[in-house]
Chains A and B, each alone.
Chain A
C-alpha cells in the first residue's frame, strides 16, 4: 500500500484499472465491470444484464 493519500475518484479509477488482476476473479466478469465503469454505465441493473449474457454464452458454449 503506497503512502499517498488518494481521492475517492483515484481509488475507484485505480481499482477498475487493476480489477482483472484480483486473484480468484473470473476474467470475463472483471472485463465486463471494467468496461461498464469506463463507459460510465456501472449500475447494478447493467451488471446483472451483462452477467446474464455471459451465462447464456457459457451455456451455449
Chain B
C-alpha cells in the first residue's frame, strides 16, 4: 500500500515559495500552524493532485473546480505552480503543474504512465482527506444522500443499474407472454381439433388416437402410432386432384382463425390505448406539469451537452452567462431530481404508448398474413381482399397517428371510440362468406369419404402442430422467466449480503472508535441501517443506543462536539473499509471542537488503531500541538511548524541541521538565491534555541508576532540577560558584530537597495557560526543551558561541561 516519501509544493494558495517535506515512508507528520499560516494550502494541494479540483473553492464566482483560486496570487504569469509527490512506490512519483498557457490556466502531470493513471483513478474512490468543515456532511445528509454518498464510494450504482436491467428484462418477458395469449390460442386450436375429431387432444397419444378413429371407416391396415405414420396415411388416402382443394380448406380455417385473433388483438389494443390517453390527458391538462416536462427535455439535453464536453466554457450554453461548468451540471441534476416524479409519470405514459404501438404492429402483421392466404387470393374473394387491405391501411394510419402525441403541442386526442375503427358488420360478413365457401366445398365433396377424412386429418394435424408450437413457445418463455427470476433473486441476495457486510463492518468500527473516544458515555451500538423495501433500497440512516434506548437521527440527540466525533469515527472507519491502495490520510484541524479529555483519547485512538498508517495531522492549537508532540515522541512521527510572512508566504520551519546543510550547499555552488534569508532563518532558530536554554525573556506579543521574533530583538534581549547574569559573553565580539550587522535585516523588509553578494553572506554566516560555537558544544551536541547550571561554581554550561561560563 502506498505512502508518501516526499512532498514539494510551490505557488499554490498561500505557498508562494517552495516548501518541501521528506518523510521516511512510514513516518507520520504533525504540522502546527496558526490560522492563515497555510496548513490548508497543503491539504488543498493534495486534493487538487488527486481529484483535480478543490471542493471548498469550487463556486460560481471562483470558477471550475476552484482551480482559479489555487494559484498563489503573487506568482508571475510565467511562473509554474506545482505539487510534487514521491511515493513508497516510485512508479507513482509525479509533479502536477498549474500554469498559464496563452492566458488560460492549464494543468500538466509529468507521469503519463497507465499505472499512474490507474492509481489516481482508483484513489478517487478512497477517503484520504478530512477537513473540519466536512465532519458533519455525511451525518447531516438526507437518507437518500447518505446512500448516494456510500454508493459512490463502494460503486453501488453499478449494482443498482444491473438490478434494474434484470427487473426490466423479467417484466419484458412477462409482458410478451401476456401479449401472446397462449392460453387463448391453444384453446382455439383445441376447439379446431375438437370440431374435426370430436375429441379433446392434449398430447401425442390423444392425437394418434383421434386420427386412428378418423381413418377407421377406410379399413386401412396401417398403424397410427407416430407422426410419420400419419403422414404416410395421408399420402395413401390423398387424391392428387384434391390437393389444391385441401390446401384451400386449410387456408380457409387458418384465415378464420386469424380473423378471430384480429378481433382479440383490436380489443387488447383499445384497452392499452385507453390507458395511454388517460395518462397523457392528465399530464397535458396540468399546464404546470406540462411546462416541467418540456423543461425536463431541455435540462436533460443541457446536461448531455455539458457532460460530453460539446460546450467546454464556463458559461451557460443557452444564455452565455458566465457560470462554472461543474456547478451548472450539478444544478441541472438537482432540477432533474426535482422533476423526477413528473418524469416517472411521463415514463409510465410512454410505456403504455409503446405497448399500444407494439399491439398495433401485431395487428398489422396479422392482417398482412391474412392477405397472403391462398383463400383470400382466389378470384371470388377479391372484394374480401380489398376490404382487408382497407382495414390494414386504416391500422397503419393509427400507427402513425399515435406517434404525434407530443407534450409540447396541443393535439386533438382521438377518443377511444374512434380508435381502430373497423366495420364489424363487414368483418362478420367476410367470416360468413368464408364459412359459406367451406360449406359449399364440403357439400360438393360430400360423397367423397376419402376426401372428407383426409381433410379432417389435415386440419387436425395443422391445429395440433400449431398447438404444440404454442405450448413449446409458452414453456420456453416460462423457463426464461424462471431463470431470469432466479438470477434476479440471487443478485438481490448478493447485493444485500455485500451491502450488509459493508454496513456491519463500518458500523462496528465506527461504534468501536466512538466508544474508544467516549467511554463512560451513554452511547452505544452505532449502526448504519438501510431503509427501503425488499429489493428497493432508498436510503441509509444512523441509529444508535442512547441511554439504553434505540434512537435516530444523531443530530437530534448529540451535541456538536459529539457529532464531530461521530464524523471523525465514520471517516476513520471508512478508511479501514475502503482504502485498499493508499495507506495514508490527512486530518486537517479535526480536533478543534473537542475538549482536552476527548483530544487525548483521539490521539490515543490514532496511535493505537492506525499505527501502521501514515497520518498527516494539522492543527492550529498550540496546546494540542504541544501535547501531541510529547505524545508522539519516540514514535515514528516528525513535527513541523509552518508560518506565514508577507514576503515569502507560507514557510516551513526547518530543523537547524537541515537548514545548515542547505546553506552549505548554496555556498558550495556559489548560489546566492534565497541564501540571505536562509542564513537569517538559521540565526533566528539559533537565537531562539539559545534564548530558550538561557531563559531569555522577551516582551509578550500576541499570536504570530510572539512566534516570529526578529533576530535583532533576540540578540538585544540575550545581551541584556548576559549583562544581568554578569556573564563574560556579554562582551563577546561575536555578539557585538552580529548586533551591528547590516545583513541582520528586517524579515519584512522589501526596500533594501543593497544586494548581498556571496562574499558578504559568507562573512555574515561566519559570524553566526562563531556565535554558535560560543554557546553550542560540538562534543555533547547541546547548547549551554540553565538545566546544566552548577550552583556551586555558579557556572552555566553544556551537558558535558566542555563549555562553561560564570553565571550569577
Contact = CB atoms under 8 A, between A and B. Distances in A.
A binds B: yes
A31 to B, nearest CB: 11
The 10 closest A-B pairs by CB, nearest first: A8-B155, A44-B168, A47-B169, A26-B483, A7-B155, A8-B158, A44-B169, A8-B159, A8-B156, A29-B483
Interface residues of B, number: 38
A11 B498 contact: yes
Contact of B162 (A1, A42, A54, A59): A42
18 contacts: A3-B501, A5-B154, A5-B577, A6-B498, A7-B125, A9-B158, A10-B155, A12-B159, A12-B162, A14-B494, A15-B490, A25-B487, A29-B484, A29-B487, A30-B487, A44-B165, A48-B173, A51-B173
A15 B476 contact: no
B281 interface: no
Contacts of A23: 486
Q: In the complex, which of the residues B165, B168, B577 has the most CB atoms of chain A within 10 Å of its own CB atom?
A: B165
B495 to A, nearest CB: 7
Contacts of B480: 26, 29, 51, 54-55
Nearest to A2: B501
Contacts of B125: 7
Contact of B165 (A6, A10, A15, A43): A43
A22 B490 contact: yes
A8 B501 contact: no
A54 B577 CA distance: 42
B407 interface: no
Interface in B137-154: 151, 154
Contacts of A30: 483, 487
A59 B154 contact: no
Given A44-B172, A48-B173, A55-B477, 5 more contacts: A5-B154, A7-B155, A9-B155, A11-B498, A12-B159
Nearest to A19: B487
A22 B578 CA distance: 29
Interface of B: 125, 151, 154-159, 162, 165, 168-169, 172-173, 176, 469, 472-473, 476-477, 479-480, 482-484, 486-487, 490-491, 494-495, 497-498, 501-502, 505, 577-578
A5 B154 CA distance: 9
A25 B483 contact: yes
B751 to A, nearest CB: 59
Contacts of A5: 154, 498, 501-502, 505, 577-578
Nearest to A27: B483
Nearest to A14: B494
A41 to B, nearest CB: 11
A30 B484 CA distance: 9
A42 B501 CA distance: 27
A28 to B, nearest CB: 9
Contacts of B156: 8
B490 to A, nearest CB: 5
B504 to A, nearest CB: 9
Interface of A: 1, 3, 5-12, 14-15, 19, 22-26, 29-30, 33, 42-44, 47-48, 51, 54-55, 58-59
Chain A contact residues, majority secondary structure: helix
A23 B482 CA distance: 12
B1 to A, nearest CB: 15
Contacts of B486: 22-25
Contacts of A9: 155, 158
A58 B472 contact: yes
A26 B165 contact: no
Nearest to B160: A8
A30 B577 CA distance: 32
A12 B154 CA distance: 12
B483 A24 contact: yes
Contacts of A48: 169, 172-173, 176
A3 B498 CA distance: 9
Nearest to A33: B487
A59 B505 CA distance: 50
Nearest to A15: B494
A37 to B, nearest CB: 8
Contact of A59 (B472, B483, B498): B472
B773 to A, nearest CB: 60
A25 B173 CA distance: 16
A9 to B, nearest CB: 5
Contacts of A1: 497, 501
Contacts of A54: 476, 480
Contacts of B497: 1
A15 B490 CA distance: 9
Contact of B473 (A11, A12, A55): A55
Contact of B159 (A3, A11, A55): A11
Nearest to A4: B501
A5 B176 CA distance: 39
A12 B164 CA distance: 13
A2 to B, nearest CB: 9
A55 B158 CA distance: 29
